[in-house]
Structure 1
Amino acid sequence: MAKVLSVDTLRKPAVFLHSRWFCWPLSRRKYGSNDETSSSSSSQYLHRSLVPTMHYQKSLPRLPVPKLEDTIRRYLAAQQPLLDDQQFRNTERVAQDFLAGEGKRLQEVLLAQDRKNKHTSYISGPWFDMYLSARDPVVLNFNPFMSLNDDPKTEYNGQLVRASNMVCSAVRFMKTLRAGLLEPEVFHLDPARSDTDAFKKLIRWAPTSLAWYGAYMLKAFPLDMSQYFRLFNSTRVPHPGRDQLFTDPAGRHLLVMRKGNMYVFDVLDPAGKMLPPARIRDNLSYILSDGTPAPDFPLGALTAENRDVWAGLRDKLLATGNGEVLKTVDSALFCLCLDDVTLRDSVDASHNMLHGDGVNRWFDKSFSIIVARDGHAAINFEHSWGDGVAVLRFLNEIYKDTTQKPLVHPDQAAAGASSASDVRRLSFQLDDSLRDGIKKAKAGFDAAVSRLTIDAMQFTGGGKERLKAAKLSPDAVAQLSFQMAFLRQYGQTVATYESCSTAAFRHGRTETIRPASAFTKRCAHAFVNEPARHAASELLDMLRHCSDYHSQLTKEAAMGQGFDRHLFALRCLSAEAWRPPHDLYADPAYAAINHNILSTSTLSSSAVRLGGFAPVVPDGLGVGYGVHDNWIGCNVSGYPARDVPGFLRCVHRSLEDIFNVLDGKALN
Structure 2
Amino acid sequence: MEPPDSTNDAPSDKPRPRLNATTFAHDDQLPRVPLPSLADSCERFLAWSAPLLTEAERAETAAAVAAFQAPDGPGPILHAALERYDATDGVHSWLDDFWDSRYLGRRDRIALNANYIFLFAGTPANDSSSLDADGQAQLERAAGLITAAVDYKLRLDDERIAPVLQRGTPLSMAQNTFLFSTTRIPGAVQDTVRTPYSAAWPGPSTARHIVVFHRGNPVRMDVIGPDGSPYALADLVAGLAAVIKQTPRRAPADGAVGHLTTKARAAWADSRGRLLALDPANQQALDTIETALFCVCLEDENPTDDLATCDRLLHGDAANRWFDKAVSLIVFPDGRAGINVEHCGLDGTTILSFVDDLLTTSPQEHAASSGARAQGLPTIDAVTFVLDDALRADIASADESFVAFAAATASMTLRIDDFGQNEAKRLRMSPDAFVQLAYQLAHVRAKGHVGATYESIATRAWRRGRTEAMRVVTPEVLAFVAAMGDPTATADTRRAAFRTAAQAHVTRAKDCQAGRAPEQHLWELQFIARRQGDELGVHEPLALYETPGWVKTRDDFLSTSSAPSVNVEFFGFGSTSSQCVGAAYVLLPETFNLYLSTPRTVADGMHRFATELRQALHELRDLLASEEPPAR
- Confirm or deny that 1:287 pairs with 2:243: yes
Write the mapping of 1:109-124 to structure 2, written as runs, cut at 5 A.
109-117=81-89, 119-124=91-96
CA contact (8 A) 1:537 1:664 kept: no
Equivalent position SS for 1:487:
helix
- Number of aligned pairs? 594
CA contact (8 A) 1:166 1:402 kept: no
- Confirm or deny that 1:72 pairs with 2:29: no
Equivalent position SS for 2:404:
helix
Deviation at 1:99, TM superposition (A): 2.9
Deviation at 1:72, TM superposition (A): 1.9
Residue type of the alignment partner of 1:174: K
2:600 aligns to what? Answer: 640
Deviation at 1:95, TM superposition (A): 1.9
1:243 aligns to what? Answer: 191
Counterparts of 1:3 and 1:657, CA distance in 2 = 26
Residue type of the alignment partner of 1:544: R
- Confirm or deny that 1:651 pairs with 2:613: yes
CA contact (8 A) 1:455 1:636 kept: yes
Write the mapping of 1:571-590 to structure 2, written as runs, cut at 5 A.
571-575=526-530, 576-578=532-534, 579-590=539-550
CA contact (8 A) 2:184 2:192 kept: yes
Residue type of the alignment partner of 1:116: T
Larger CA deviation: 298-307 vs 106-115? 106-115
Write the mapping of 1:339-418 to structure 2, written as runs, cut at 5 A.
339-402=299-362, 405=365, 407=367, 417-418=376-377
- Confirm or deny that 1:464 pairs with 2:415: no
CA contact (8 A) 1:4 1:26 kept: no
Write the mapping of 1:224-623 to structure 2, written as runs, cut at 5 A.
224-247=172-195, 249-296=205-252, 297-321=255-279, 322-402=282-362, 405=365, 407=367, 417-418=376-377, 422-527=379-484, 529-530=485-486, 532-575=487-530, 576-578=532-534, 579-623=539-583
Residue type of the alignment partner of 2:101: D
Residue type of the alignment partner of 2:208: R
CA contact (8 A) 2:31 2:462 kept: yes
Pick from 6, 12, 28: which aligns with 1:58? 28
Deviation at 1:118, TM superposition (A): 5.7
Deviation at 1:654, TM superposition (A): 1.5
Deviation at 1:485, TM superposition (A): 1.4
Equivalent position SS for 2:442:
helix
Larger CA deviation: 270-279 vs 238-247? 270-279
CA RMSD of aligned residues (A): 2.3
Change in CA separation of 1:3 and 1:61 when aligned onto 2, cut-off 3 Å: closer
Equivalent position SS for 2:62:
helix
Counterparts of 2:223 and 2:302, CA distance in 1 = 27
Residue type of the alignment partner of 2:316: G
Counterparts of 2:217 and 2:76, CA distance in 1 = 55
Residue type of the alignment partner of 2:55: D
1:37-85 deviations in Å (ceiling 9; x for gaps): xxxxxxxxxxxx8421111112111000012222122212221221111
Counterparts of 1:515 and 1:397, CA distance in 2 = 32
Residue type of the alignment partner of 2:88: K
User: TM-score, normalised on structure 2?
Assistant: 0.89
Residue type of the alignment partner of 1:301: H
1:474-514 deviations in Å (ceiling 9; x for gaps): 11111111111111121121111111121111112221111
Residue type of the alignment partner of 1:258: H
- Confirm or deny that 1:173 pairs with 2:152: yes
Counterparts of 1:361 and 1:30, CA distance in 2 = 37
1:347-372 deviations in Å (ceiling 9; x for gaps): 01110111112111011111100001
Change in CA separation of 1:291 and 1:105 when aligned onto 2, cut-off 3 Å: closer
CA contact (8 A) 1:149 1:607 kept: yes
Structure 1 stretches (4+) deviating beyond 6 angstroms?
none
Counterparts of 1:289 and 1:507, CA distance in 2 = 44
Counterparts of 2:154 and 2:505, CA distance in 1 = 40
Counterparts of 1:416 and 1:547, CA distance in 2 = 58
Counterparts of 2:356 and 2:238, CA distance in 1 = 26
Change in CA separation of 1:389 and 1:629 when aligned onto 2, cut-off 3 Å: closer
Q: Percent of aligned positions with the same letter in both sequences?
A: 29
1:181-218 deviations in Å (ceiling 9; x for gaps): 1111222x3xxxxxxxxxxxxxxxxxxxxxxxxxxxxx
Residue type of the alignment partner of 1:227: Q
- Confirm or deny that 1:107 pairs with 2:79: yes
1:437-485 deviations in Å (ceiling 9; x for gaps): 0011001110011111111223344332232122211111111111111
CA contact (8 A) 1:461 1:659 kept: no
5+ residue gaps, structure 1: 10-15, 17-23, 32-48, 190-219, 409-413
Deviation at 1:534, TM superposition (A): 1.2
CA contact (8 A) 1:259 1:359 kept: yes
Change in CA separation of 1:117 and 1:551 when aligned onto 2, cut-off 3 Å: farther
Counterparts of 1:631 and 1:148, CA distance in 2 = 15
Counterparts of 2:35 and 2:366, CA distance in 1 = 46
Residue type of the alignment partner of 1:336: V
Counterparts of 1:54 and 1:91, CA distance in 2 = 43
1:223-272 deviations in Å (ceiling 9; x for gaps): 11112112111111112111110125222111000100110121112332
User: TM-score, normalised on structure 1?
Assistant: 0.85
Larger CA deviation: 74-83 vs 375-384? 74-83
Counterparts of 1:402 and 1:473, CA distance in 2 = 34
Write the mapping of 1:152-167 to structure 2, written as runs, cut at 5 A.
152-153=124-125, 155=127, 158-167=137-146
5+ residue gaps, structure 2: 132-136, 197-204
